């Protein structure tokens, strides 16, 4: 086996371990324990916080600068009806369809 190939395989194995272990270890050690109610409530907000941290910059700063003008940032305006639909229906499929339709309609009109 070539030296570079060995390095690549080792890098892949290490990256897999770094990706897998932080997910597996808490599940393994905490699955048999009852968590404090306050901790459970706090952990229930983690998915929303992660989603907000991923969507915030993408919606407010799509090209690296803060703008909400409809002519420069259609993503922000397409997200608004999507948020309303998500809150009202709690249906991911319909929410995605509304977001795609809103973005397509805004691109067509602007």
Residues 76-93 have pLDDT tens digits of 999 999 999 999 999 999
Angle at 59 between CA 53 and CA 60, to 5 degrees: 90
Report angle CA 27, 28, 30 to the nearest 5 degrees. Answer: 65
Alpha carbon separation from 88 to 47, 82, 84, 92, 95 (Å, rounded): 19, 10, 6, 11, 10
Phi, psi for residue 63 in degrees, rounded to 5: -120, 25
pTM above 0.85, yes or no: no
Reported as a pLDDT band with limits 50, 70 and 90, residue 107 is: very high
Q: Are 59 and 75 contacting, i.e. CB atoms less than 8 angstroms apart?
A: yes
């Amino acid at each position: 086996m070539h030296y570079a190939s060995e390095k690549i395989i080792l890098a892949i194995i290490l990256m897999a371990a770094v990706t897998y272990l932080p997910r597996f270890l808490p599940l393994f050690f905490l699955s048999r324990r009852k968590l404090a109610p306050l901790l459970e409530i706090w952990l229930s907000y983690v998915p929303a916080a992660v989603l907000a941290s991923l969507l915030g910059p993408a919606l407010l700063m799509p090209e690296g600068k803060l703008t909400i003008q409809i002519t420069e940032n259609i993503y922000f305006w397409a997200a608004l009806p999507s948020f309303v639909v998500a809150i009202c229906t709690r249906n991911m499929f319909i929410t995605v369809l509304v977001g795609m339709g809103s973005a397509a309609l805004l691109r067509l009109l602007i």
